[in-house]
């Protein structure tokens, strides 16, 4: 028999175990909770069907192996970019098993695959289990799922070794991968990897691989991309490797490198008036390989002047500077992103009720105005700072409005959209008539079933890290203490309904009317936040540490308000019970 609300126990156990909260108040499973659990199951089922269709028994992706920015090895793992994050949210163990199979298979597949006309990939597209030398637009996409594997399997020794090796390619001590210049604090080329940087003139084959019959534009688009010397903000994507190496091992050298490299970029951007330079010369000067032009460079602000995109000044900066902030809590790492947005809004245009921002800069100033306002970056800035000023342009954001009590129907609507998207992708996959002999590496991405954005928002109170190789930032994360794994336990659903600078409000519910469930709630994606109290059923109890255990009676649920000091701890990728 369930005890009434007045007899709730929110007891803190003063031992090595995390504080424990017991919830026994009956709660009929809300629609969002049932939908959340159903979506986790549906994604896992769809992942199995997708893998059966496009991956062979060796773990090889059924495609033509090609090199380059149009269709390359990164596109294979980009197809599976959310699978490890899905498992960390509570997806089935089968999803993680499939990811491991595909990851190992694609390493073997592209280590053997060769691009004879490409100077760094003629003997294999991968070397030492990593791309030989390419840009971090693509390298980051190929590593997105790899980074999130740390959330679910931090104890995997082979994974730890790989992360350490990969991070070492960018710290200046690996003679085979001399990518980093310690003196000038730069990565020496936009093309870099396990065989080191490309410092001579890059050819169209270095970018686009072999000629593809009937598609000469695959190479012609890179004719202006020969000068790859010097650093580019895309290279800040390498900070994710340093972050994971530190989070997994606790070795300060990895943290120190991230802060050194990201700190150098922070200082350069602020020195440049808040505009992100797109070339740092081999001598460490802004625009050093492009006549002092801060906006110059391959994939620079005015790269392909007639094309709106393909300058990539924001992607790496969001990742690298955000990673440094996560390591330290130092809000100065967010300031360059904020200043860049301020500069763009300062020259905005208004057309037919739309705000247009410039996407390019050249000798005549700002140009190429579009509706892209970098709302993903603006969300990050707000969630990092919790400063109302960072909401200035986010008034129409449906999720943030829900957190502010202005859009109560958002969870149901967002989860419904996810189901509709999944149905559409599975239906399209079943109609796909492409074959391995004609399928490019990215040929199945349009059918990729798993998408985690809504679940990260609703369950974790975090902004989705995207597909570019970013690290997860979140206010909460969950673990199953019974099965000793990451993610919500079976039957348990979570909905973050409010965030402030020092609190998070979350509803936890056990949708199973027969069996009790327990969930470990961690404060931050990597335990970077410190709990101060938990309020349940009107009773506030002091807590401390990076996590707490919540025991949910059969069919029980409740709203919890958790107090916390944000960024009080160094982030670690360990299970809560191993701290």
Q: What is the pLDDT of residues 31-81, one digit of tens each?
A: 999 999 999 999 999 999 999 999 999 999 999 999 998 899 999 999 999
pLDDT of amino acid 308: 67
pLDDT of amino acid 73: 96
Q: How confident is the model over 314-329, as a mean pLDDT?
A: 98
Q: How confident is the model over 321-330, as a mean pLDDT?
A: 98
The pLDDT confidence band at residue 170, using thresholds 50, 70 and 90, is very high
Least confident of 7-11, 139-143, 374-378, 461-465: 7-11
Question: CA 272, CA 270: separation in Å to the nearest integer?
Answer: 5
pLDDT in tens, 114-136: 999 999 999 999 999 999 999 99
Pairing of strands 503-510, 557-565: antiparallel
The pLDDT confidence band at residue 215, using thresholds 50, 70 and 90, is low
CB atoms within 10 A of CB 409: 9
Task: Tell the residue number behind the tokens 């969002």, with chain if given.
Answer: 32
Is CATH 1.10.287 correct for 32-453?
A: no
pLDDT in tens, 459-482: 999 999 999 999 999 999 999 999
Task: Tell the residue number behind the tokens 């701290």, with chain if given.
Answer: 579
Residue 16 has pLDDT above 70, yes or no: no
pLDDT of amino acid 404: 96
3-state secondary structure 353-389: CEEEEEEEEECCEEEEEECCCCHHHHHHHHHHHCCHH
Domain ranges in the chain with CATH number 1.50.10: 32-453
pLDDT in tens, 254-296: 999 999 999 999 999 999 999 999 999 999 999 999 999 999 9
Instruction: Report the percentage of the chain scoring pLDDT > 90.
Output: 92
Q: Are 32 and 410 in contact (CB under 8 A)?
A: no
The pLDDT confidence band at residue 579, using thresholds 50, 70 and 90, is confident
pLDDT of amino acid 305: 72
Instruction: Report the percentage of the chain scoring pLDDT > 70.
Output: 96
Domain ranges in the chain with CATH number 2.60.40.1180: 5-29+475-578
CATH topology of domain 5-29+475-578: Immunoglobulin-like (2.60.40)
pLDDT of amino acid 304: 85
Task: Give the global pTM.
Answer: 0.96
Question: CA 14, CA 19: separation in Å to the nearest integer?
Answer: 7
pLDDT of amino acid 8: 33
How confident is the prediction for the chain on average, in pLDDT?
A: 95
3-state secondary structure 99-151: HHHHHHHHHHHHHHCCCCCCCCCCCCCEECCEECCECHHHHHHHHHHHHHHHH
Q: How confident is the model over 380-384, as a mean pLDDT?
A: 98
């Amino acid at each position: 028999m369930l005890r009434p609300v007045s007899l709730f126990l929110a007891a803190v156990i003063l031992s090595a175990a995390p504080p424990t909260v017991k919830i026994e108040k009956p709660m009929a499973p809300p629609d969002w909770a049932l939908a959340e659990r159903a979506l986790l199951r549906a994604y896992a089922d769809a992942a199995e069907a997708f893998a059966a269709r496009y991956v062979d028994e060796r773990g090889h992706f059924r495609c033509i192996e090609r090199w380059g920015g149009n269709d390359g090895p990164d596109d294979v793992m980009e197809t599976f970019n959310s699978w490890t994050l899905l498992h960390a949210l509570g997806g089935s163990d089968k999803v993680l098993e499939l990811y491991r199979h595909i990851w190992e298979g694609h390493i073997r597949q592209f280590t053997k695959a060769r691009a004879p006309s490409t100077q760094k990939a003629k003997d294999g597209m991968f070397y030492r289990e990593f791309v030989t030398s390419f840009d971090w637009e693509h390298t980051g996409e190929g590593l997105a799922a790899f980074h999130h594997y740390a959330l679910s399997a931090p104890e995997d020794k082979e994974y730890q070794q790989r992360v350490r090796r990969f991070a070492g390619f960018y710290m200046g001590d690996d003679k085979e991968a001399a990518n980093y210049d310690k003196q000038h604090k730069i990565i020496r080329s936009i093309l870099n990897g396990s065989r080191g940087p490309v410092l001579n003139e890059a050819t169209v084959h270095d970018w686009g691989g072999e000629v593809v019959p009937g598609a000469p534009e695959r190479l012609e688009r890179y004719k202006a991309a020969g000068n790859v010397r010097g650093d580019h903000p895309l290279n800040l994507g390498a900070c994710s490797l340093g972050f994971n190496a530190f989070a997994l091992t606790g070795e300060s050298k990895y943290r120190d490198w991230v802060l050194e490299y990201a700190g150098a970029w922070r200082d350069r951007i602020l020195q440049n008036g808040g505009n992100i330079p797109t070339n740092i010369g081999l001598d460490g000067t802004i625009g050093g390989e492009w006549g002092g032009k801060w906006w110059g460079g391959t994939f620079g602000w005015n790269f392909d002047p007639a094309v709106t995109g393909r300058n990539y000044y924001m992607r790496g900066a969001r990742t690298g500077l955000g990673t440094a902030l996560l390591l330290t809590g130092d809000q100065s790492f967010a300031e360059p992103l904020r200043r860049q947005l301020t500069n763009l809004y300062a020259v905005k245009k208004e057309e037919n009720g739309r705000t247009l921002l410039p996407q390019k800069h050249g000798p005549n100033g700002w140009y190429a105005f579009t509706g892209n306002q970098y709302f993903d970056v603006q969300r990050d800035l707000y969630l990092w700072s919790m400063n109302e000023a960072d909401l200035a342009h986010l008034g129409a954001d449906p999720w943030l409005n829900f957190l502010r009590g202005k859009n109560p129907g958002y969870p149901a609507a967002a989860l419904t959209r996810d189901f509709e998207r999944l149905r559409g992708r599975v239906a399209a996959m079943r109609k796909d008539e492409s074959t391995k002999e004609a399928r490019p590496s990215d040929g199945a991405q349009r059918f990729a079933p798993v998408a985690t954005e809504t679940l990260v928002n609703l369950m974790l109170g975090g902004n989705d890290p995207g597909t570019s190789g970013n690290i997860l930032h979140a206010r909460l994360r969950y673990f199953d203490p019974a099965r000793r794994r990451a993610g919500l336990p079976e039957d348990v659903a979570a909905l973050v309904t409010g965030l402030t600078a020092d609190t998070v409000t979350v509803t936890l519910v056990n949708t199973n009317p027969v069996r009790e469930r327990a969930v470990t709630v961690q404060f931050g994606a990597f335990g970077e936040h410190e709990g101060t109290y938990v309020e349940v059923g009107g009773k506030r109890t002091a807590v401390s540490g990076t996590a707490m255990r919540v025991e949910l009676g059969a069919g029980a649920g409740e709203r919890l308000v958790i107090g916390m000091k944000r960024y009080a701890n160094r982030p670690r990728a360990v299970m809560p019970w191993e701290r």
